[in-house]
Amino acid sequence: MGRCKRTRNLEVHHKDRSKGATLSNAEVLCPLCHEATRSYGKPGPTPPPFSKEVKEKALRRAGHRCECTRKSCPHNAL
């Protein structure tokens, strides 16, 4: 399974809506991969926003690249 190669317009996604806005709950995704997550656009509690510091750390950790490796993401069809 490959990793998405997108590096632009990256978003920091909450892996679990109920786990807060910590770095361990952050996942860097491109817009296409973010929209393909199970929770995107679904009703439910809105998680707290990530701080600028957490976003910057998540982006550095990800190498400023989408972290998605899901089979269901659209980048695998490209």
- Tens-digit pLDDT profile for the chain (78 aa)? 567 889 999 999 999 999 999 999 999 999 999 988 888 888 988 899 999 999 999 999 999 999 988 776 666 555
Nearest to 37 by CA among 48, 49, 28, 50: 28
pLDDT of residue 55: 98
Contact 59, 10 (CB under 8 A): yes
Q: What is the pLDDT of residue 36?
A: 87
pLDDT (0 to 100) of residue 14 = 95
Residue 42: inside a domain = yes
Residue 27 belongs to what domain range?
11-77
Whether residue 69 lies inside any domain: the answer is yes
In a domain, residue 62? The reply is yes
Q: Which of 63, 68, 70, 60 is nearest to 27 (CA)?
A: 68
**For position 4, what pLDDT does the model report?**
84
The total number of structural domains that make up the chain: 1
How confident is the model at residue 48, as a pLDDT?
95
